[in-house]
Structure 1
Amino acid sequence: MTLSKERRIGRHATLLVLADDKTEQQDLIDRLPWKSCNGKVGSMDSQKVVAAIETAAKQTGVIQSGVYRETHALYHATMEALHGVTRGQVQLGSVLRTVGLRFAVVRGNPYESEQEGEWLAVALYGTIGAPVKGLEHETIGLGINHI
């Protein structure tokens, strides 16, 4: 079971979320043999972050709406990424924190063997802090889960 540099799904999701403009994002997407989507979300409610990512993944065909295991895998990858963003305490508004995040979701098989199946990577990058403009700092999170 080998994981080559070109097949590192988390690396690709992170590069996609960090891309500065649409052209750079499209170049990354075109190079990938996998499905992906990206977007933005800002909220004091972690449920809204999860919902925005799930909605984008379903609307772009990264996951299938009626297949529970795909939604379940996305949920776990998203929660893992949120743990990174929130430093292990997945709380926002209840502790007076807000986030402004970009997200990227990548779906594919990071292994050489097709038998390993597909995986999902969710990368989050943006700001977190008090709900006052200028009182935030950068944050990043990555979650990976098998389907």
Structure 2
Amino acid sequence: MTLQTPIGKYAILLASLDEAELELFKPALQELSYCQGRVGSMNMQKVIAAAETAAKRNGIIKDQCYRETHALYHAVLEGIEGVTRGQPSIGEMSRTVGLRFAIVRGKPYEDESEGEWIAAAFYGTIGAPVKGLEHETTGLGINHI
């Protein structure tokens, strides 16, 4: 089984590029189902809600489909674990995040029976809630729908 569409790779790329950098890739991304967003917070629920809201508003997942929301939730949590180095909490540990994120949906395998998958990638900063004391971070989560 080989990868047809590397949704994780696209998600990481989309999350890490700013708007000007992204312009270079726009033609190659036209067939891709994705959305992007930004979130900064000391509250983990706000990070999760920002990703979920963006995915629903952009039609990446269906608003009333629990299965799709649940798949996204697990992809987001897995991505957050990368951002937080396996300690999925921010405000409780006196740290804050400033993140760009991307959600990508697709069929990564040539075998159609493998179905659709969803990837959530985050790129940005994490650190003490003092400007200038943060460092870069990234995280990726992928889950089947």
Aligned equivalent of 1:2 = 2
- Provide the rounded CA distance (Å) in 2 between the counterparts of 1:26 and 1:119: 26
Q: State the distance in 1 between where 2:23 and 2:61 align.
A: 20
Unpaired runs of at least 5, structure 1: none
TM-score normalised over the length of structure 1:
0.93
Aligned mates of 2:29, 2:9 — CA distance in 1: 13
Give the TM-score normalised by the residue count of structure 2.
Answer: 0.94
1:43, CA displacement in angstroms? 0.3
| Unaligned runs of at least 5 residues, structure 2 | none
4+ residue segments displaced more than 4 Å: none
The 3-state SS of whatever aligns with 1:122 is: strand
Aligned to 2:98: 100
CA 9–69 in structure 1, closer or farther in 2 if over 3 Å, else same: same
CA, structure 1 residues 133+36, in 2 after alignment: closer, same or farther (shift >3 Å)? Answer: same
Q: Which of 68, 78, 93 is the aligned partner of 1:70?
A: 68
Separation in 2, partners of 1:32, 1:41: 24
**In structure 1, what is the Cα distance between the partners aligned to 2:101 and 2:27?**
14
Shift, 1:131, TM fit: 0.5
Q: What letter is aligned with 2:36?
A: N
Q: Secondary structure at the match of 2:35?
A: strand
Count of paired positions: 145
* Structure 1 counterpart of 2:33: 35
Q: Does 1:56 find its partner at 2:54?
A: yes
How many angstroms apart in 2 are the aligned matches of 1:25 and 1:103? 17
Between the aligned partners of 2:80 and 2:15, the Cα distance in structure 1 is 14
Q: Secondary structure at the match of 2:89?
A: coil
CA contact (8 A) 1:29 1:36 kept: no
- Distance (whole Å) between structure 2 residues aligned to residue 120 and residue 60 of structure 1: 14
The 2-side partners of 1:59 and 1:22 are apart by 23
Q: What fraction of aligned residue pairs are identical, expressed as a percent?
A: 61
Give the equivalent residue in structure 2 for 1:138.
136
Higher mean alpha-carbon deviation, 22-31 vs 82-91, is at: 22-31
Q: Check conservation: 1:19, 1:25, Cα contact below 8 A.
A: no
What is the root-mean-square deviation of aligned Cα atoms in Å?
1.6
